[in-house]
Amino acid sequence: MATQTLKLNVKSGEKDGKNFWDRCGVLFVNTDDSGNITSINVKYSMFPNVEMVAFPRRDDDPVTE
């Protein structure tokens, strides 16, 4: 089982044609040995104690704390 970690960024501003970004969270994509997505968890800085999921975490998924 593998976990992919993706950074979530939000555009915080623009100056002289350059964009500025702030990290606002992390997306964890858990897959099985065949590469199928088993669950997706989101840790978002605006909601630090709220668990957000696209697919509920399974017992055999790694803990993403």
Could you tell me the pTM of the whole model? Answer: 0.63
pLDDT, position 57: 64
23: CB partners within 8 A, 6+ apart: 7, 8, 9, 45
* Residue ranges per structural domain of the chain: 2-55
The DSSP result for 1-65, as a single string, is -EEEEEEEEEEEEEETTEEEEEEEEEEEEEE-TTS-EEEEEEEETTEEEEEEEEEPPPTTSPP--
Per-residue pLDDT of the chain (65 residues; tens, 9 = 90+): 688 899 999 899 999 999 999 988 898 898 888 888 888 888 888 777 877 766 666 676 666 55
pLDDT, position 32: 85
pLDDT, position 64: 59
